[in-house]
Amino acid sequence: MILHTLLDYDTLRVIWWVLLGVLLIGFAVMDGFDLGTGMLLPFLGKNDVERRVIINAVGPTWEGNQVWLILGGGAIFAAWPQLYAVSFSGFYLAMFVILIGLILRPVAFKYRSKNESRAWRNGWDWALFAGGFIPTLICGVALGNVLQGVPFRLTPELFIHYDGSFFGLLNPFAILTGLVSVAMLTMHGAAWLGIKTEGAVAQRARTVGSIAAILTAVLFVLAGVVLWKFVDGYAITSAVNTTGPSNPLFKTAAHMPGAWMANYSKYPWTMAAPVLGIVGCIIAAVLMRARKEGWAMIFSGLGIAGIILTVGASMFPVILPSTVDPRFSLTVWDSSSSHMTLFIMLVCTVIFLPIILAYTTWVYRVLWGKVDEKQIREGSGHAY
């Protein structure tokens, strides 16, 4: 209880905002290369053996990597219940489409090699492509809509009403951020295949990955310029009570041109995030060309982290803005769970997150090594 007293409510709110970012980065980096590999499968594998090499490069670990998605959803539910309520109800159809894509993956992994028919296997290969492309694109589109604001409102009793539609999410800026997401995870999947495969597959992965890395940097810069010039941000215009109750209606806020760029002037060190996103992708492209696969994977991950951190740095302290009335927007200071809930969840995270990281490290160490065509042809050392 002494520690609970030392950790002020406002401190815990910031800690959980940071942890949410960490979990989103963990999902994008760890499950991202699985999704990227799925998107690359029909294009990098020129025959059945090569496609099985690609599948087995992620086959042993893809299920475990989805733990980060579960952790992210659980963190939103426990720490930011109003954010969970708006996003999982307002984006219900988008979430359902993502779920369909994620369901396709395990079915395709399990059933692809059950029949030797070329049409059968080709169909499941495209299912794996869809299982990677759909969640990647929709997550990027969702992020673009978050930056523009979401059409939701709150009643005096804090009941949430979402006034938007699924097709309303498919606007030009959101599609641009969706393309950033697709290029980003294509880069990451190619970097992973450079580590796990050899020969023609690895060479194609390096070529495609380096192009995707440069494209990611270009699209990321383009999205930043569009955000700066054409998308109004949100800013709190009343006094901020960082330890007050979680009630968004206790503040006033407004749309402001260029508001998403204000933190970079106020806190110059936050410029490290977009710089990391751009430089990480460019260095990853160079390293892939130079056949430095391990370092390429590291800088690909750093590029992803920089892109996600840029969104957080731009929006803080806003978490989810409302286009209906800026006053309804959810912020770090007025949409969290209680002080005690955040503290208990932090204790659980401090205990269990290191265990997850240790177990994940052990699994990758045990399963380390390249997948080659000889293993596939001999029917040994592969699961799919």
- Amino acid identity, position 106: P
How far apart CA 275 and CA 282 sit, in angstroms, is: 11
**3-state class of 147 per DSSP?**
helix
pLDDT at 205: 96
Q: Output the pLDDT for position 73.
A: 85
pLDDT at position 383: 63
Residue 63, pLDDT above cutoff 90:
no
* Contact call for residues 96 and 35 (beta carbons, < 8 A): no
Domain ranges of the chain: 2-237+247-268+310-378
- H or E element, residue 152: strand 152-154
The predicted pLDDT at position 374 comes to: 74
Q: Rounded distance, CA 306 to CA 280, Å?
A: 8
Per-residue pLDDT tens over the stretch 272-281 = 999 999 999 9
Helix axes 272-289, 293-315, angle to 10 degrees: 160
Is pLDDT at 1 greater than 70 in this prediction? no
pTM of the model as a whole: 0.93
pLDDT band per the 50, 70, 90 thresholds, residue 181: very high
What single-letter amino acid sits at 293? E
When pLDDT is averaged across residues 348-370 and rounded to a whole number, the result is 88
